[in-house]
């Protein structure tokens, strides 16, 4: 039997074919084999994949933990060692401080003590360059940097941190959360520059926690903690626990609620909540958790999926 209709649309030609051999031929020509319906009109079910992609497999945190949390603070501000570190130490929580050398020099003894007791000291550049769209950064605008200049600055900052505190920075936080240098057609991402030097590069002002099985550690997301009370911060923790993710909070000053300030009450409540065994959370430095993720990835598929150290 011949098809009696002349049709130009591939779907119409396929529907108008009357015999099974011709149906298969029409489907192949029209590119509809994968979505072809059987003669009964019922969609053929897709065959399941033999194995799930590795990045979709369940990532397992140590000791049955549901999620990981890192508390990070930028710029080496005085309130961090005056109010933040005492709270952290009271709960045995280790945090990551992305320090600016000029900030360290204001309280060198306090920062040395914080480093000696296990808090991580990360790289946050030497001059804290951001977009020149911020007038205060016009003389150190990212638009005027090259990749080579940024690499040199990161290296110099690491050397200064090591000289002042006796520790080597293994993770980095992007200033203002911005990852570019140059402008217009000359704009370049300096994420690869960070990936060559550090285990983790933390972003800022992001919206979701990191999927440990998939995320690019050179562009790990950071969630702002400044200005949040505990009830506002808690949903981020609960969502991370639900999805098995790594939540990195970032803030600046610590103390009474104010601009760019993590309320001391919020920090204390987070430490208490994370330390509660019933919540099954791992709270640790960016270096510690980033290193664990790299180790698990290497065990699972032999790949670190990052250009870091």
Average pLDDT over residues 18-23: 42
24-32 LR contacts (CB < 8 Å, sep 24+): none
Residue 24 has pLDDT above 60, yes or no: no
Please give the pLDDT value at position 57.
Answer: 57
Joined together, the tokens standing for residue 146 give 């090259």
* DSSP single-letter state for residue 167: -
Contacts of residue 46, Cβ cutoff 8 Å, sequence gap at least 6: none
Please give the pLDDT value at position 308.
Answer: 56
Average pLDDT over residues 142-170: 98
220 strand-pairing partners: 202
Residue 55 has pLDDT above 60, yes or no: no
d(Cα 199, Cα 158) in Å, to the nearest integer? Answer: 13
Domains of the chain: 10-43 (no CATH), 64-301 (3.20.20.370)
For residue range 69-120, list pLDDT tens digits in order. Answer: 999 999 999 999 999 999 999 999 999 999 999 999 999 999 999 999 999 9
Residue 6 has pLDDT above 60, yes or no: no
pTM: 0.81
Q: How far is CA 250 from CA 173, 206, 303, in A?
A: 10, 10, 28
Q: How many Å separate Cα 173 from the centre of its chain?
A: 11
Return the sign of the alpha-carbon dihedral for residues 113, 119, 125, 129.
negative
Half-sphere exposure of 59 (CA within 13 A, CB side): 28
Please give the pLDDT value at position 51.
Answer: 34
Residue-wise burial string across 66-84, b where 16 or more C-beta atoms lie within 10 A, e elsewhere: bbbbbbbbbbbbebbbebb
Please give the pLDDT value at position 257.
Answer: 94
For residue range 247-299, list pLDDT tens digits in order. Answer: 999 999 999 999 999 999 999 999 999 999 999 999 999 999 999 999 999 99
Please give the pLDDT value at position 78.
Answer: 98
Give the three-class secondary structure for 187: coil
Residue 32 has pLDDT above 70, yes or no: no
Q: At what angle do helices 230-243 and 264-275 cross, to 10 degrees?
A: 30
Residue 159 has pLDDT above 60, yes or no: yes
Mean pLDDT of all residues belonging to the chain: 86
Per-residue pLDDT band for 58 (boundaries 50, 70, 90) equals confident
Please give the pLDDT value at position 303.
Answer: 52
């Amino acid at each position: 039997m011949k098809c009696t209709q002349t049709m130009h649309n591939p779907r119409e030609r396929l529907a108008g074919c009357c015999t099974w051999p011709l149906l298969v031929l029409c489907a192949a020509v029209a590119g509809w084999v994968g979505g072809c319906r059987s003669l009964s009109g019922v969609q053929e079910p897709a065959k399941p994949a033999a194995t799930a992609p590795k990045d979709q497999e369940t990532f397992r945190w140590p000791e049955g933990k549901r999620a990981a949390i890192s508390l990070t603070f930028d710029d080496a501000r005085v309130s961090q060692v005056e109010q933040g570190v005492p709270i952290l130490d009271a709960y045995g929580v280790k945090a990551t401080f992305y320090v600016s050398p000029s900030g360290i020099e204001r309280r060198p003894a306090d920062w040395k003590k914080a480093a000696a007791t296990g808090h991580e000291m990360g790289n946050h550049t030497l001059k804290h360059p951001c977009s020149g769209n911020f007038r205060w950064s016009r003389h150190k605008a990212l638009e005027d940097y090259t990749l080579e200049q940024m690499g040199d600055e990161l290296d110099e900052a690491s050397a200064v941190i090591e000289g002042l505190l006796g520790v080597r920075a293994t993770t980095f936080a992007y200033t203002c959360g911005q990852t570019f240098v140059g402008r217009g057609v000359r704009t370049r991402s300096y994420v690869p520059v960070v990936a060559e030097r550090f285990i983790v590069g933390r972003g800022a002002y992001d919206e979701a926690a990191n999927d440990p099985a998939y995320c690019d550690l050179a562009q790990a997301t950071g969630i702002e903690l400044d200005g949040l009370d505990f009830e506002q911060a808690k949903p981020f923790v609960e969502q991370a626990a639900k999805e098995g993710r790594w939540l990195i909070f970032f803030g600046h000053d610590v103390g009474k609620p104010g601009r760019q300030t993590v309320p001391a009450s919020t920090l204390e409540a987070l430490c208490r909540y994370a330390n509660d065994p019933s919540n099954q959370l791992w709270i640790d430095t960016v270096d510690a958790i980033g290193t664990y993720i790299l180790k698990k990835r290497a065990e699972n598929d032999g790949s670190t999926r990052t250009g870091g150290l």
